[in-house]
Amino acid sequence: MKSIADLEKIRQATLSKVNLRRESEGTRIVVGMATCGIAAGARPVMNAFVDEVAKRNLMDVTVAQTGCIGMCRYEPIVEILAPGKEKVTYVHVKPEMVPRIVNDHVVNGNPVVEYTISNAE
């Protein structure tokens, strides 16, 4: 059973990582979470990104949300903003696509072109 006491251990264990995260100007993964995104499956996508970032212990990556960007038919939409690089928009994202996006794009800097909006039509 999880207990509130576990949090003290987590606090101690993560304190140094948190400071590293604060100091870095890192990559932002932004998931569309308006009604259209949620109905299309954005929640498991967002949680898959959180899990993958945690699993890989990525210090300079944050996962955030945005509202409807007016392209509801492409939801779930995920935008990746890396410092000094052009924004990349992924469409119809599914949780099983997340490990590859994180590995190829977020970690190694090579966008997964076949999942991007330019390949959607």
**CB closer to other proteins out of 19 and 24:** 19
Contact flag: residue 14 with other proteins (CB under 8 A): yes
Going from the C-alpha of 94 to that of each of 9, 77, 80, the distances in angstroms are 33, 10, 15
Contact flag: residue 68 with other proteins (CB under 8 A): yes
What is the Cα–Cα distance from 3 to 59, expressed in whole angstroms?
26
Least distance (Å) between residue 73 CB and other proteins = 13
Cβ atoms of residues 115 and 89 within 8 Å:
no
Supply 121's token pair: 């039509």
Residues forming contacts to other proteins in the complex (CB under 8 A) are 1-2, 4, 6-8, 10-11, 13-15, 17-19, 31, 33-35, 38-39, 43-44, 46-47, 50-51, 53-54, 62-65, 67-70
